[in-house]
């Protein structure tokens, strides 16, 4: 996982106080005035600066359509850092960031603006000592990708050799809307940049708990021996949001929960849960193992019975009345876009034969929670009488990704008293209690990894394509007709999803 | 919060259990136990720093104040709080009078969190020999601060002669930001090292360790330049004909200058005690880089195995260990 720098005599792998600091470089943000940039990227840059993790020659360069100068952008960035940064706002730290904050105004089809950008990047080396290195963050709508990428190709600013430095690109989801478009987009990006310089951000992978899943599985003796079909009955991966679509109807309509969340976040979590041990803990080995799992995914034969889509209707959530999806602003009347998706997939390997993986995601569910639930088989024989173990469920290991990050283990325990009564109890490990109060934000971690060139936590193009291969048949089936099931806002999804598990003799966990 | 006057160790354990039940924190996970050995007049400052560090590393904080070892009657006063004024975790401040001060471990041992690492931190004059203090012997990691000694450079030498893996010193922690800047500068430098200079106050142990670290890593002599401080004020590296100079004269901002490149100003603050302590608690394994730097600084490093307690009665020796004789 660590970037190995050979030849620097002051870096000693045993000396772990010294942080990993990237080489001098510029971070170019396209769509610098947008939501993601203000709420996540700029605060993450400030947090990195505050923790001393940015190199002396670092420049933040914003690119957007607004007719602004450096000063106005600096104002926006300052406000963003003050409002959203994780760490305390300190004027002297901000001053250093502000001095190295630049803004370029231009639209994406403006050749002159991109020519200026290309020369600016070279000039920054002389004025700020960036070494000509640059990472481009595409915080822009997907339909603008091709235009921007072609501009980069035209000006040669994406070429490592031509610029004699490193040039990297960061792409946000969605990576296409089906297999064909993902292949097309992937080809285009890989054509403009070299494949190892492309970083596809899945911010879930930057979360501490997700990385901890690997520690939990591969650093312990306790779990890996039972991490297979002999002992595991089923796996449930849930990502629930209590929010609705807000003002994102324009994006969300026609995309839906399966493409927005299931295809990327949930399948990545599945891959980390199901993968074999990587040979080494580096980008290449990790991605190889994840890819093996994703390519082994199969959908059940009776797809209609194993995939459920839903749409929320008007209801009550957290004490407030909320609109149904059809009444949200910007939603087409009679829209069949799903706001809830549940899917059963199987991993066709010896380790996982016969173990269903149930994935579900939805908006306007009772609370915001993401978790991976491993449900174990019941003990093959119980020496207790049936009535004694009536309240004993299956053992479960739950990785709580957010909020309240941690791990829960559920197992049976004797109820105090004179009778032998066994009931489920939980044993809890909470990150907040055992480690530092505030782990770095996912974007902070991932941005640092991009600047360091460490791609371990970024899915590769092949993984994206394998994921689409799983989702495409489901989307095609849904596109053929019919309407999503409905569920009231504030419920755990449509009834059909419960029935889907009931048919397999199982039930959803209440997260 | 429970305050106990003239009490016993058993009563303190009971009070802690009661406080935990009340706070609902019966299953709280503790990463470590931090034992702070503090002089009465520094208690407030130590509590602040430990609270700051505990916010990042949830721990059980045991503050031990040794008072009047010559008092005729041994006596223990204790203040127990869970999620109170001393941060979110569990904290016990204990004042030990008379001969009990020499047997503080008898109260501390049963209060250590089960199977969690123990860190002992002497705030104030560091011990001459850590083995003199049983609270240092039970710890897996021991934090001293040579800066607090009357003669910091002699204290550093004492640390080298007394070194056991797991020892660390806050004057080393203070060099981290400087070392990080040097290492970053070296990432883009190639060629032979022809000049190394470290500037700062002559008696500053961090300056000495910084120079020792450079010497141990680069195998070259390091020039020392005396300035008025505060602390370390600059480093100059001449590598492959290029000169990189980092100067900090105000203890807050550093200027990085490199031949052929514009000067850059970076925040390089002298960090607060709480931040230093938090950095120490981040890793609990032995710090080999510190040992090497300490060896190169003093030329007196002797690495020993585990420590056993060396009994010293401050009433009977002419020059008692400061770790045992706080007010």
A419-477 residue pLDDT tens: 888 888 888 887 766 665 566 788 999 999 999 998 888 998 889 999 999 999 999 99
Of B220, B242, B267, which residue is a domain's last? B267
Do B161 and B187 have their domain in common?
Answer: no
The residues of A annotated as belonging to the active site are 265
Q: Look at residue B6 and tell me if it is in a domain.
A: yes
ipTM above 0.90 for this complex: no
The chain B residue lying nearest A130, using CA atoms, is B261
Top residue of B23, B24, B29, B257 to mutate, by most chain A CBs within 10 Å, is B29
| C-beta of residue B155 within 8 angstroms of C-beta of residue B126 | yes
Do B96 and B216 have their domain in common?
Answer: no
- What's the whole-number mean pLDDT along residues A165-170? 91
Residues of A in contact with B288 (CB under 8 A): 14-15
- Using CA atoms, how far apart are residues A51 and A480, in angstroms rounded to an integer? 52
The chain B residue lying nearest A58, using CA atoms, is B264
Please indicate whether, in this complex, the C-beta atoms of B56 and A436 are within 8 angstroms of each other. Answer: yes
Q: Look at residue B85 and tell me if it is in a domain.
A: yes
B224-246 residue pLDDT tens: 999 998 999 999 999 988 899 99
Q: What is the pLDDT of residue A3?
A: 39
Do B141 and B216 have their domain in common?
Answer: no
B283 close to A (CB below 8 A): yes
Do B157 and B180 have their domain in common?
Answer: no
The chain A residue lying nearest B287, using CA atoms, is A15
Q: What is the pLDDT of residue A438?
A: 61
Do B127 and B212 have their domain in common?
Answer: no
- Using CA atoms, how far apart are residues A199 and A384, in angstroms rounded to an integer? 54
Please indicate whether, in this complex, the C-beta atoms of A9 and B217 are within 8 angstroms of each other. Answer: yes
Top residue of A46, A52, A89, A413 to mutate, by most chain B CBs within 10 Å, is A52
Please indicate whether, in this complex, the C-beta atoms of B177 and A52 are within 8 angstroms of each other. Answer: yes
Do B37 and B114 have their domain in common?
Answer: yes
Residues of B in contact with A433 (CB under 8 A): 28-30, 58
* Average confidence score pLDDT of chain A: 89
Task: Give the whole-number percent of chain A exceeding pLDDT 70.
Answer: 97
Do B244 and B208 have their domain in common?
Answer: yes
Residues of B in contact with A56 (CB under 8 A): 181, 184, 256, 264, 266
Please indicate whether, in this complex, the C-beta atoms of B183 and A21 are within 8 angstroms of each other. Answer: yes
Of B267, B286, B314, which residue is a domain's last? B267
Q: Which of A112-126, A314-328, A384-398, B203-217 has the lowest mean pLDDT?
A: A384-398
Report the residue from B252, B256, B283 with minimal CB separation from A56.
Answer: B256
Please indicate whether, in this complex, the C-beta atoms of A93 and B267 are within 8 angstroms of each other. Answer: yes
Evaluate if pTM is beyond 0.90.
no
Report the residue from B188, B253, B258 with minimal CB separation from A92.
Answer: B253
The domains found in chain A, sorted by start residue, are 25-172 (3.40.50.720), 205-373+437-447+463-503 (3.30.360.10)
A66-76 residue pLDDT tens: 888 889 999 99
- The token duo for A309 is 């889509």
Residues of A in contact with B182 (CB under 8 A): 10
Please indicate whether, in this complex, the C-beta atoms of B266 and A56 are within 8 angstroms of each other. Answer: yes
* Phi, psi (deg, nearest 5) at residue A268: -65, -40
| DSSP conformation class of B264 | E
Q: Look at residue B225 and tell me if it is in a domain.
A: yes
Contacts of A243 (CB under 8 A, 6+ apart): A363, A364, A368
- The total number of structural domains in chain B stands at 2
B28 close to A (CB below 8 A): yes
Q: Look at residue B223 and tell me if it is in a domain.
A: yes
- What's the whole-number mean pLDDT along residues A299-311? 93
The alpha carbon of residue B70 is apart from the nearest alpha carbon of chain A, in Å, by 40
Do B234 and B315 have their domain in common?
Answer: no
Residues of A in contact with B188 (CB under 8 A): 23-24, 131
- What's the whole-number mean pLDDT along residues A213-220? 92
Q: Look at residue B209 and tell me if it is in a domain.
A: yes
Do B108 and B85 have their domain in common?
Answer: yes
Nearest to A296 by CA among A345, A258, A342, A263: A345
The chain A residue lying nearest B26, using CA atoms, is A428
Sheet of A134-138: strand order equals A101-105, A58-64, A25-30, A134-138, A167-172, A198-201
B58 close to A (CB below 8 A): yes
A229-270 residue pLDDT tens: 999 999 999 999 998 888 888 888 888 999 999 999 999 999
Q: Look at residue B213 and tell me if it is in a domain.
A: yes
B253 close to A (CB below 8 A): yes
Q: Look at residue B275 and tell me if it is in a domain.
A: no
Q: Which domain holds residue B227?
A: 176-267
Report the residue from A8, A99, A129 with minimal CB separation from B261.
Answer: A129
Q: Which helix (H) or strand (E) holds A399?
A: strand A396-402
pLDDT of B205 over the 50 cut: yes
Q: What share of chain A is helix, strand, coil (3-state, %, to 5)?
A: 40, 20, 40
Q: What is the pLDDT of residue B244?
A: 92
Do B204 and B257 have their domain in common?
Answer: yes
């Amino acid at each position: 996982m660590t970037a190995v720098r050979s030849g620097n005599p002051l870096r000693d792998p045993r000396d772990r106080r010294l942080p990993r600091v990237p080489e001098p470089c510029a971070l170019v943000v396209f769509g610098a005035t947008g939501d993601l940039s203000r709420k996540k990227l700029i605060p993450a840059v400030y947090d990195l600066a505050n923790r001393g993790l940015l190199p002396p020659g670092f420049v933040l360069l914003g690119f957007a359509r607004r007719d602004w100068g450096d000063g106005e952008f600096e104002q926006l960035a300052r406000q963003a850092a003050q409002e959203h940064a994780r760490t305390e706002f300190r004027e002297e730290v901000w001053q250093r960031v502000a001095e190295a904050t630049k803004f370029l105004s231009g639209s994406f089809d403006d050749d002159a603006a991109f020519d200026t950008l290309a020369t600016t990047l070279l000039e920054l080396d002389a004025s700020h000592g960036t070494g000509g290195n640059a990472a481009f963050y595409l915080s822009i709508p997907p339909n603008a990708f091709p235009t921007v990428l072609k501009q980069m190709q035209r000006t040669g600013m994406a070429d490592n050799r031509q610029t004699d430095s490193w040039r990297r690109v960061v792409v946000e989801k969605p990576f296409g809307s089906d297999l064909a478009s993902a292949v097309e987009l992937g080809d285009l990006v890989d054509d403009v940049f070299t494949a190892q310089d492309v970083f596809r951000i899945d911010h879930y992978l930057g979360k501490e708990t997700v990385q901890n899943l690997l520690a939990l599985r591969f650093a312990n003796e306790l779990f890996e021996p039972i991490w297979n079909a002999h002992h595991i009955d089923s796996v449930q991966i849930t990502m629930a949001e209590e929010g609705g679509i807000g003002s994102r109807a324009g994006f969300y309509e026609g995309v839906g929960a399966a493409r927005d969340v299931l295809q990327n976040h949930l399948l990545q979590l599945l891959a980390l849960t199901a993968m074999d041990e990587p040979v080494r803990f580096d980008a290449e080995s990790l991605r190889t193992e994840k890819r093996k799992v994703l390519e082994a995914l199969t959908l059940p034969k009776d797809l209609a019975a194993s995939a459920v889509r839903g749409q929320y209707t008007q209801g009550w959530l957290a004490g407030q009345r909320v609109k149904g999806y059809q009444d949200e602003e910007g939603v087409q009347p009679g829209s069949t876009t799903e706001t809830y998706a549940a899917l059963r997939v199987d991993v066709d390997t010896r380790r996982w034969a016969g173990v269903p993986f149930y994935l579900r995601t939805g908006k306007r569910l009772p609370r915001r929670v993401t978790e991976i639930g491993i449900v174990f088989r019941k003990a093959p024989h119980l020496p207790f009488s049936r009535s004694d173990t009536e309240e004993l469920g299956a053992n479960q290991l739950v990785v709580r990704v957010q909020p309240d990050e941690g791990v829960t283990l559920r197992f049976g325990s004797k109820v105090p008293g004179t009778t032998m009564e066994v009931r489920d109890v939980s044993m809890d490990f909470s990150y907040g209690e055992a480690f530092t109060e505030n782990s770095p934000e996912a974007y902070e971690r991932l941005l640092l990894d991009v600047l360091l060139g460490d791609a371990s936590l970024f899915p590769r193009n092949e993984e994206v394509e394998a994921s689409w291969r799983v989702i495409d048949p489901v989307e095609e089936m849904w596109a053929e007709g019919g309407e999503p099931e409905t569920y009231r806002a504030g419920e755990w999804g449509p009834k059909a999803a419960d029935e889907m598990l009931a048919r397999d003799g199982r039930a959803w966990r209440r997260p | 919060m429970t305050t106990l006057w003239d009490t016993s160790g058993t009563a303190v354990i009971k009070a802690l259990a009661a406080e935990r039940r009340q706070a609902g924190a019966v299953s709280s996970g503790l990463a470590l136990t931090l034992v702070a050995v503090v002089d009465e007049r520094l208690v407030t400052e130590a509590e602040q720093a430990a609270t700051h560090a505990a916010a990042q590393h949830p721990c059980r904080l045991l503050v031990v104040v040794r008072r009047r070892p010559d008092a005729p009657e041994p006596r223990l006063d204790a203040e127990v709080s869970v999620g109170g004024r001393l941060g979110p975790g569990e904290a016990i401040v204990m004042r030990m009078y008379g001969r009990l001060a020499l047997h503080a471990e008898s109260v501390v041992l049963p209060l250590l969190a089960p199977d969690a690492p123990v860190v002992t931190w002497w705030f104030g004059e560091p011990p001459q020999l850590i083995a003199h203090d049983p609270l240092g012997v039970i710890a897996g990691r021991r934090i001293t601060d040579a800066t607090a000694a009357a003669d910091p450079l002699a204290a550093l030498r004492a640390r080298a002669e007394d070194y056991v893996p797991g020892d660390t010193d806050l004057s080393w922690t203070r060099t981290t930001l400087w070392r990080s800047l040097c290492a970053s500068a070296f990432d883009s430098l190639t060629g032979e090292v022809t000049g190394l200079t470290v500037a700062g106050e002559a008696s500053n142990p961090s300056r000495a360790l910084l120079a020792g670290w450079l010497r141990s890593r680069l195998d070259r002599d390091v020039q020392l330049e005396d300035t008025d401080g505060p602390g370390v004020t600059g480093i100059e590296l001449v590598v492959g004909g290029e000169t990189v100079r980092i100067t900090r004269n105000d203890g807050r901002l550093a200027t990085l200058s490199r031949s052929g490149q514009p000067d850059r100003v970076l925040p390089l603050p002298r960090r607060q005690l709480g931040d230093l302590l938090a950095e120490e608690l981040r890793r609990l394994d032995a710090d080999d880089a510190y040992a090497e730097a300490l060896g190169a600084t003093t030329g007196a490093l002797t690495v020993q195995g585990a420590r056993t307690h060396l009994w010293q009665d401050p009433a009977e020796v002419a020059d008692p260990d400061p770790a045992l004789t706080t007010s």
